[in-house]
Amino acid sequence: MFNLFRGFVFLWLSCIGITHAADTGWQVSPQNDHARIRFQAERDQNRIQALLTVELKPGWKTYWRSPGEGGVAPKISWPEGVTDSWSWPVPSRFDISGMTTQGYHDKVTIPIVLDGVKGDALDGTLTLSTCSNVCLLTDYPLHLDFTQPVDAGFRDAFDHAMRSIPGSSGVSSDLTAWLADGNLVITGTTEGKWDNPGIYFDLLVGDILPGEPVIKHDGHQLRVTVPVTDEWGDKPTSLAGKALSFVLTNGSKAQQTVMTVGSTPAASAAPGTGKMMLFALLGGLILNLMPCVLPVMGMKLNSILHAGSNKRTIRLRFLATSAGILTSFMLLAAMVTALKLTGASLGWGIQFQNPWFIGLMVAVTFLFALNLFGVFEMLLPSATAGRLAATGGAGLGGSFCEGMFATLLATPCSAPFLGTAVAFALGAPLQTLWLIFLMLGVGMSLPWLFVALVPKTATLLPKPGRWMNTLKIILGLMMLASSLWLATLLNLHLGDTIGQIVMLVLIVVALALFALKGQRSSPLFWVVVISLSVFGGYQLRGLLNASPVLATQSVEQTIPWQPLSEEAIQMALAQGKRVFVDISADWCVTCKVNEHRVLNQPDIIAALSQPDVVALRGDWSQPSALIAAFLEKRNRYAIPFNEVYGPGIPDGEILSPLLDKRTLVTTLNNAKG
């Protein structure tokens, strides 16, 4: 009986000990109530296994061993002679204010092994950095008493934490890395296929900072492109032979990799170049159907009519137009190359963000309109202007200029296949970039080359006659409308008032010159005069009232747009909501078509106004580093850009540049999960 009682007491004392492990318990600092920490440990001879657990309130994060472009990794200061070895779980990536960081949110448990601990007690200080809109650096005192029994669940918790640590294999065994055009390129394969892969970098040897990676995967193939800079912000000239450490994930699998950066492969052509060349050819061809090129097509039609049935003249003019198109694309390739080498933002049509370029295009389109009105000689009476007027309508030089002009007017439009080809070109080596832009030019030149090869197609048009004068006036109105539309783009740079004055001056000058030179006996003359007078009066009224003249938004129901940011997407996803992203610009004609045909329709407005839908809009009318980085992260460089996120599509689904209501509604429904 006594032995039974003694055994019961022993068991009772043991149970009491279980609740008093070598454990700091949960600690909250008076200076930081957004995080709490707990440190548990178990002695195994001279080694000690420990767990550091950090819990964070929503919206707060702490950092991985390599924080990235900002932040401080957690660190514990121990007495002299005590060392620790941390095993880091897979982190997440955060993008805040253009900075890329790596760390954890919500809760993380980090296994730690201590060596050199002497005695039955250990004291240390944990320094933890936590960030939200502000960052806090907090110290937590740690006191461990190893005379206390260990929590019975500690070993299972430690083993479970260690199983979440990336191993040295299991994802890919044939990774290769090299430097190309200032970017670190990593390629590899995996068994099966890639499932939402991720990569997290340690700081490269020599203080080389990796930026936001662009990850592409197709089946079992993976390609990661990472911009890298040194501590001064300059791109390194070589990384060959440098050690590279990173964690690579594939679905639920994770692998810690340490490798050496190799030299640039001799074969510089990126995988899939042939397919992208075909995309570029198709994208360039489709550009001819976009509304941006319509005014130039009208000018070319006018020159054909003047050429009559002379096949040789038609052939030469269309060849000259094709040469102008190809020259413009080569100039665009040169401009993109210069921007790429200097590290500037890249994108299709970004020249329309420059007010000087817009002003030049306004002047050129206005001169062409006056030329079609038959008053160009009055505007520029010099011999040079006379020659320019002649070539603009009939000569080979004029046809060459028409080709260049068509290309410049086409850049605000993003056709199908175009965005994919341009994105591939901007991320590829320079020689591949030039090849893709050449194929874009060839694609856009195809209709013009076809007419040059088969001049009979041009002779199918009606014979010249009086009706040509009417056609010239209509084409002149189309070109003048293009000039006035371009003038509206100056409002962002010069202000609404000056922009309206520019438009009013253009209208008055065009009206006055047309009234002097036009054929007053034609009914179309008075239609043009009355139309320009009404539009000019409308502009003047708006200018005098100091109110935006071109405001077309209805006071009726509209989409509740919010500012675009990565944080807004992540916050909406965390709340189980769907997200619709729209990036557009005032100079993007395709964007305006999408707005009119799709986004401004009542059923789409209703769909995007649902309580569980967040509509985010980015305006790229002017240069924006945030939008440029947002597009580059998704390997896109052209707008319009539309993407849908949701519980059913957590990684997002990018839509076609030409939106249609059925696809948008279907994708939004799929995003519900």
pLDDT digits (tens, 9 = 90+) for 180-223: 877 888 998 888 888 889 999 987 766 677 888 888 887 788 88
- Mean pLDDT to the nearest integer, 518-547: 63
Instruction: Kindly tell me if the per-residue pLDDT of 392 is higher than 50.
Output: no
| pLDDT at site 552 | 41
Q: Which of 412, 419, 408 is nearest to 280 (CA)?
A: 419
Q: What is the location of CATH 2.60.40.1150 in the chain?
A: 176-260
Instruction: Kindly tell me if the per-residue pLDDT of 464 is higher than 70.
Output: no
Q: How far apart are CA 424 and CA 420, in angstroms?
A: 6
Q: Are 444 and 285 in contact (CB under 8 A)?
A: yes
Residue 546 burial (10 A CB sphere; 0-12, 13-18, 19+): exposed
| pLDDT at site 385 | 35
- Calculate the alpha carbon distances from 646 to 32, 345, 607, 672 in Å: 33, 29, 14, 6
- Give the residue with greater pLDDT, 46 vs 13: 46
pLDDT tens-digit series, residues 67-77: 887 789 999 99
Angle at 328 between CA 323 and CA 329, to 5 degrees: 100
Sign of CA dihedral 110, 111, 117, 119: positive
Q: Which of 571, 662, 556 is nearest to 614 (CA)?
A: 571
CATH class of 176-260: mainly beta
Q: How far apart are CA 596 and CA 588, in angstroms?
A: 13
- Mean pLDDT to the nearest integer, 341-362: 68
pLDDT tens-digit series, residues 234-247: 777 778 888 889 99
Instruction: Kindly tell me if the per-residue pLDDT of 358 is higher than 70.
Output: yes
Structure tokens at 254: 């994770």
The least confident of 441-455, 540-554, 650-664 is 540-554
- Flag whether the pTM goes above 0.85: no
pLDDT tens-digit series, residues 242-279: 888 999 999 889 999 988 888 766 444 444 677 778 87
CA dihedral 474, 477, 478, 480 (to 10 degrees): 160
Q: Which of 272, 288, 228, 237 is nearest to 423 (CA)?
A: 272
| pLDDT at site 27 | 92
Q: How far apart are CA 476 and CA 373, in angstroms?
A: 6
| pLDDT at site 644 | 93
> 21-163 maps to which CATH number?
2.60.40.1250
- Average pLDDT value over all residues in the chain: 77
Token pair 């401080």 is found at: 72
Instruction: Kindly tell me if the per-residue pLDDT of 87 is higher than 90.
Output: yes
The least confident of 54-58, 101-105, 179-183, 473-477 is 473-477
| pLDDT at site 308 | 53
Q: How far apart are CA 88 and CA 74, in angstroms?
A: 11
For residue 155, give every residue at least 6 positions away whose Cβ sits within 8 Å of its Cβ, in sequence order, or none. 42
| pLDDT at site 389 | 37
Q: How far apart are CA 654 and CA 644, in angstroms?
A: 7
Instruction: Kindly tell me if the per-residue pLDDT of 383 is higher than 50.
Output: no
Q: Which of 635, 620, 615 is nearest to 590 (CA)?
A: 620
β partners of residue 580: 615, 644
Angle at 652 between CA 650 and CA 654, to 5 degrees: 165
Q: How confident is the model at residue 17 (pLDDT cuts 50, 70, 90)?
A: very low
Give the CATH number of domain 561-670; options: 3.40.30.10, 3.60.10.10, 3.40.47.10, 1.10.230.10: 3.40.30.10
Which amino acid would we find at residue 468?
M
Q: How confident is the model at residue 90 (pLDDT cuts 50, 70, 90)?
A: very high
Q: What is the location of CATH 3.40.30.10 in the chain?
A: 561-670
- Calculate the alpha carbon distances from 438 to 30, 126, 284, 330 in Å: 64, 58, 10, 7
Q: Are 210 and 247 in contact (CB under 8 A)?
A: no
Q: How far apart are CA 335 and CA 242, in angstroms?
A: 32
